[in-house]
């Protein structure tokens, strides 16, 4: 007869124990009985916020209930264990039932820490930890007008963004002097703060809450420094507290600060009782990330089958995406070791901060911080963990290598096979390569299925993709860049599926060709594809867009928006200039001439946008698409019309080109330029496409860009007449739209295009693929469906109604403050 292991707790760590158990020899000698308090089997708490935004619970389950049955595990959900009798080796449940155990495993996890604040019991106060917590918050939202979140850590910031997206002005209250003090230094935290404030989130630091005020229901918070704020909904996310009450009542050792004390083998002082996960203290600390908790589960299963494994601590590096902002820390990110050298890059204008900590001799990377951009995270973490000797210029990791190649001379191919790529599942580079070579896992979803790499927090997926790409190229094989786990297709394949099957919505595409509920990767990609193929107003797909496309305007600091009307070629009549001035004066908008020969109006509230657009539309203006991955501007010099050096009429040509492609949606933003001579006053060779007049016609340049890594455009064809230039431009733009990856600029697309510029010339100029006429026809079709997106919203009452601050009220946001600046205004700093 089999002995019995009883597992108390069916969270992520508990599930991992079950998974390791069924794959071990223990199944031959033991049966496993599992208890969970919640009505659902174990689910992915790391992505809890996706449940808030609409993902159904079943999509977040780590395994359905049937999985446990199939593997001989008895799972009892919605049954809380209330006591342990160590002498009798039994446990008691809230249903007055008693269960015998031979081995008891405590995986009781943690609960939300609620500070001892006076008034915390009031109506409208919530924690953010479980499905049930989120259901309660969502139900209360219609009764609230102003929210506050106590806690400036990961879950606190996620909770703040969730209630903000539900239409509530939100304040983040943090006790420490900076956000995320365990992961970020002061400079990085300040950059993160400024990024959050761009979303109109109020960030209050150094705030200790004295009491929650209100008569029965919360009406506000009062702080110990005498200040206060109004709020009628409060989410507390101030950390976690180990669930150690069962162990404590059973006489097991509990740490003074909470947590079941275990040794490195996960043993308690009772030889028949073990503990794993967030409920334990090992090496004098609680390990609150999923990866170390998974490691504890694996260590325990190994020891129960007679091995001698130990939990020796764990790398607490992490990469997060907080309200659209990348935040990462790795290795020794914060401590100032003696002699340690640092490399710091800070760009406040773009909201980017990067710090590398080097050993005293400069040979090794100790750790670092990334805010705003964290593409380098996985490689930097590997350099730290594998103690790799740094290249001559380690700053290239965060600045980009000389010559525009990116990186610092170290690639995924340089990592040893023992390098742990997925820390959640402890999967090495060697294991992933074996899955590719021997199991034929030649796509990221297949690698996930074979190895479980990337199925935890998901942070390692980009590196898995890089590793797959490196391997396939080394074998001379083609690499398929699938969109995400919900669509096993490349962007080009999805483009064709949408076009051929005349798909008009994300849900239709997901139902026919995808799985799950979608994610922040595939939803915007699909919206871009639908707009590129059918040229419908992007606001029609607002639920799968980011903020800019959702409101047809760029969000700026303090949560206000900019308005950029289209001014083709930079040419504007005095009457139109007067209208812009009148609108700016009426709505008190900061006014600036842009680098793309347009006029930008800053400081518009979201509820003002349709009214401003209506006045501009009445004067003959259209949307400038400054908010979209679309054609922005076609810059021009004054050309032969006025300039004595001009060789042709660049202004007229620029206006014709901009009007032809206005509203064109693409994988990334597009900018063009037309110069009347080789003096290049329109900077056409710094654009995605540039046209320069010669004494024989026009030269067409493609795939340039400005920005952080500028690149001169390459000559595609020379001495063209206008009609041929437009024909080649039609072909080039449609070929790019159909074949480029998501969020890929034309310059990067060309650098990744097999055959490079020569191949592109063959396709566009020589029509080597025989698709030139088709590309031209597709462009004509797109152009024929153009509509001004502002006009569509202004004339559609249902769309227009979405432009307001609060989902349940027409009240304006009174929290937006300004200060004077050179006769105009600027957002007041918090």
* CA–CA separation, 691 and 306 (whole Å): 73
Q: Which residue has the higher pLDDT, 479 or 423?
A: 423
Residue closest to 42 by CA, chosen among 17, 62, 59, 56 = 62
Q: If you count them, how many residues does the chain have?
A: 830
pLDDT reading at 830 higher than 60? no
Q: Are 616 and 553 in contact (CB under 8 A)?
A: no
Q: Is 707 helix (H, G, I), strand (E, B) or coil?
A: coil
Alpha-carbon span 381 to 365, nearest angstrom: 9
Which of 71-85, 335-349, 385-399, 541-555 is least confident?
A: 541-555
pLDDT score recorded for residue 405: 39
480 has pLDDT over 70: no
Q: How far apart are CA 510 and CA 444, in angstroms?
A: 19
Cα–Cα distance measured from residue 523 to residue 31, given in angstroms and rounded to the nearest whole number: 43
Per-residue pLDDT at 306 exceeds 50: yes
Nearest to 817 by CA among 206, 229, 200: 200
Half-sphere exposure of 805 (CA within 13 A, CB side): 22
pLDDT(4) > 50: yes
- Which pLDDT score, from 0 to 100, does residue 168 have? 86
Q: Token digits for 452?
A: 């479980």
Q: How many CA atoms are closer than 13 Å to the CA of 800, on its beta-carbon side?
A: 14
Spatial separation of the C-alpha atoms in residues 332 and 116, rounded to whole Å: 33
Strands 110-112, 240-242: pairing kind: antiparallel
Separation CA 240–CA 109 (nearest Å): 9
At 829, the pLDDT band (50, 70, 90 cuts) reads low
Per-residue pLDDT band at 157 (split at 50, 70, 90): confident
What is the enclosing helix (H) or strand (E) of 422?
A: strand 420-422
Q: How confident is the model at residue 406 (pLDDT cuts 50, 70, 90)?
A: very low
The yes-or-no verdict on residue 164 having pLDDT over 50 is yes
Chain Cα centroid distance, residue 698: 42
What is the CB-side half-sphere exposure of residue 333 using CA atoms within 13 A? 28
CA-wise closest residue to 201 among 826, 612, 821, 813: 813
CA distances in angstroms from 412 to 16, 355, 362, listed in the order given: 28, 21, 22
Place of tokens 């299925």: 449
Question: Virtual CA dihedral for 730, 731, 735, 737, nearest 10 degrees?
Answer: 0
Q: Are 160 and 149 in contact (CB under 8 A)?
A: yes
User: Tokens for 148?
Assistant: 């506050």
Q: What is the pLDDT of residues 648-678, one digit of tens each?
A: 999 999 999 999 999 999 999 999 999 999 8
Q: What does the pLDDT read at residue 177?
A: 93
Q: In the block, which residue shows the tokens 């949307």? A: 623
Binding residues: 637, 643, 677, 681
Mean pLDDT of the chain: 88
Burial of 828: CB neighbours in 10 Å, binned 0-12, 13-18, 19+: exposed
pLDDT of residue 707: 67
Task: Give me the CATH code for the 554-784 domain, please.
Answer: 3.30.413.10
The upper half-sphere exposure of residue 786, i.e. CA atoms within 13 Å in the direction of its Cβ, equals 18
Residues 6 or more apart whose CB falls under 8 angstroms from that of 702 comprise 688, 689, 690, 713, 714, 716, 732, 746, 750, 760
pLDDT tens digit string along 742-786?
888 999 899 888 888 999 999 999 999 999 999 999 999 999 999
Which residues share a beta bridge with 92?
83, 98
CA distance linking residue 469 with residue 477, whole number of Å: 9
d(CA 87, CA 715): 84
Cβ neighbours of 69 (radius 10 Å)? 11
Relative orientation angle of helices 12-22 and 290-304, to the nearest 10 degrees: 40
DSSP character string of 75-124: EE-S--EEEEETTTTEEEETTS-EEE-SEEEE---EEE-----BTTTSBT
Q: Which two tokens stand for residue 671?
A: 């900018």
319 — alpha (psi -120 to 50), left (phi > 0) or beta? beta
For the stretch 712-717, contacts whose Cβ atoms lie closer than 8 Å and that sit 24 or more positions apart, written own/partner, are 712/685, 712/686, 713/684, 713/685, 713/686, 713/687, 713/688, 713/689, 714/750, 714/757, 716/757, 716/760, 716/761, 716/764, 716/765, 717/761, 717/764, 717/765
In this prediction, residue 543 has a pLDDT band, given cuts at 50, 70 and 90, of low
Residues of the binding site for siroheme: 681
Binding residues for [4Fe-4S] cluster: 637, 643, 677, 681
Please enumerate in sequence order all residues whose Cβ is within 8 A of that of 279, keeping only pairs 6 or more positions apart, or say none.
9, 106, 107, 108, 109, 110, 242, 243, 244, 247, 259, 260
- Burial state string for 418-446 with b = 16 or more CB within 10 A and e = fewer than 16: ebbbbbbbbbbbebbbebbeeeebbbbbb
Q: How far apart are the first and last CA of the chain?
A: 68
pLDDT, residue 743, reads 84
pLDDT at 404: 36
DSSP annotation of 584: H
Residue 470 CA neighbour count, 13 Å, CB half: 15
Q: Which residues make beta-bridge pairs with 347?
A: 352
Q: In the structure encoding, which two tokens stand for residue 640, read together?
A: 């032969």
pLDDT (tens digit per residue) in 713-741: 999 999 999 999 999 999 999 999 999 98
3-110+242-304 CATH choice from 3.90.1720.10, 3.30.470.20, 3.50.50.60, 3.90.700.10 = 3.50.50.60
Its CATH class, for the domain covering 125-238, is alpha beta
* Residue at token pair 């359905």: 64
């Amino acid at each position: 007869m089999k002995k019995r292991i009883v597992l108390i707790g069916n969270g992520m760590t508990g599930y991992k124990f079950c998974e390791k158990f069924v794959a071990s020899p223990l199944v031959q000698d033991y049966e496993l009985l599992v208890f969970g308090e919640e009505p659902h089997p174990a689910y992915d708490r790391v992505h809890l916020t996706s449940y808030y935004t609409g993902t159904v619970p079943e999509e977040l389950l780590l395994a359905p209930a049937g999985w446990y049955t199939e593997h001989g595990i008895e799972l009892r959900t919605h049954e809380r264990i209330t006591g342990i009798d160590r002498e009798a080796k039994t446990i008691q449940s809230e249903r007055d039932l008693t269960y015998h155990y031979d081995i008891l495993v405590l995986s009781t996890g943690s609960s939300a820490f609620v500070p001892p604040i006076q008034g915390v019991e009031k109506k409208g106060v919530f924690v953010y930890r479980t499905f049930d917590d989120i259901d309660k918050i969502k139900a209360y939202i219609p009764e609230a007008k102003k929210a506050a979140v106590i806690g400036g850590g990961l879950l606190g910031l996620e909770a703040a963004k969730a209630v903000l997206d539900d239409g509530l002005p939100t304040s983040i209250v943090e006790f420490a002097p900076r956000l995320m003090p365990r992961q970020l230094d002061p400079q990085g935290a300040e950059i993160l703060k400024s990024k959050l404030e761009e979303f109109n989130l109020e960030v209050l630091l150094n705030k200790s809450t004295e009491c929650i005020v209100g008569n029965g229901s919360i009406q506000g918070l009062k702080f110990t420094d005498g200040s206060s704020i109004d709020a009628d909904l409060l989410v507390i996310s101030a950390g976690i507290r180990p669930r150690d009450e069962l162990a404590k009542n059973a006489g097991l050792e509990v740490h003074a600060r909470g947590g079941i004390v275990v040794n490195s083998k996960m043993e308690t002082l009772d030889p028949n009782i073990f503990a794993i996960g967030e409920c334990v203290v090992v090496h004098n600390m609680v390990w609150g990330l999923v990866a170390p908790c998974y490691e504890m589960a694996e260590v325990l299963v190994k020891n129960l089958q007679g091995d001698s494994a130990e939990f020796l601590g764990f790398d607490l590096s992490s990469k997060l995406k907080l309200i659209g902002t990348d935040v990462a820390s790795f290795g020794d990110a914060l401590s100032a070791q003696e002699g340690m050298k640092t490399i710091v890059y800070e760009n406040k204008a773009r909201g980017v901060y990067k710090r590398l900590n080097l050993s005293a001799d400069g040979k090794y990377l100790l750790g670092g911080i990334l805010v705003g951009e964290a593409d380098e995270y996985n490689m930097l973490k590997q350099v730290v963990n594998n103690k790799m000797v740094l290249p001559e210029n380690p700053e290239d990791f965060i600045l980009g290598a000389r010559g525009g190649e990116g990186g610092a001379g170290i690639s995924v191919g340089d990592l040893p096979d023992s390098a742990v790529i997925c820390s959640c599942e402890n999967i090495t580079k060697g294991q992933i390569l074996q899955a590719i070579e021997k199991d034929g896992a030649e796509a990221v979803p297949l690698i996930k299925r074979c190895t479980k790499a990337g199925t935890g927090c998901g942070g390692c997926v980009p590196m898995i993709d890089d590793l797959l790409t490196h391997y396939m190229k080394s074998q001379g094989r083609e690499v398929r860049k699938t969109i995400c786990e919900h669509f096993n297709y490349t962007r080009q394949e999805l483009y064709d599926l949408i076009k051929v099957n005349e798909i008009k919505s994300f849900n239709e595409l997901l139902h026919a060709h995808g799985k799950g509920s979608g994610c922040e990767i595939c939803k915007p990609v699909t919206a871009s594809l639908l707009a590129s193929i059918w040229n419908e107003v992007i606001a029609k797909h607002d639920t799968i867009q980011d903020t800019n496309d959702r409101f047809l305007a760029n969000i700026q600091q303090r949560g206000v928006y900019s308005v950029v009307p289209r001014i083709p070629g930079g040419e504007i009549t005095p009457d139109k200039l007067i209208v812009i001035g009148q609108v700016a004066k009426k709505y008190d908008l900061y006014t600036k001439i842009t680098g793309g020969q347009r006029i930008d109006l800053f400081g518009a509230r979201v509820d003002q946008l349709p009214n401003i657009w209506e006045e501009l539309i009445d004067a003959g203006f259209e949307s400038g698409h400054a908010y979209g991955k679309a054609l922005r501007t076609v810059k021009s010099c004054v050309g032969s019309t006025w300039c004595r050096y001009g060789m042709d009429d660049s202004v007229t040509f620029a206006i014709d080109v901009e009007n032809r492609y206005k509203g064109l949606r693409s994988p990334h933003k597009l900018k063009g330029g037309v110069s009347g001579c080789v003096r290049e006053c329109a900077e056409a060779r710094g654009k995605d496409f540039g046209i320069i007049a010669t004494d024989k016609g026009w030269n067409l340049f493609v795939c340039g860009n400005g920005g952080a890594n500028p690149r001169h455009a390459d000559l595609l064809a020379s001495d063209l007449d206008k009609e041929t230039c437009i024909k080649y431009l039609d072909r080039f733009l449609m070929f790019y739209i159909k074949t480029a990856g998501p969020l890929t600029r034309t310059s990067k697309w060309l650098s990744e295009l097999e055959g490079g510029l020569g191949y592109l010339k063959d396709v566009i100029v020589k029509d080597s693929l025989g698709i030139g006429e088709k590309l031209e026809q597709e462009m004509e079709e797109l152009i024929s469906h153009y509509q001004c997106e502002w006009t569509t919203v202004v004339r559609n009452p249902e769309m227009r109604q979405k432009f307001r601050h609060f989902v349940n009220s027409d009240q304006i946001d009174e929290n937006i403050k300004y200060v004077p600046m050179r006769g105009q205004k600027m957002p007041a700093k918090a």
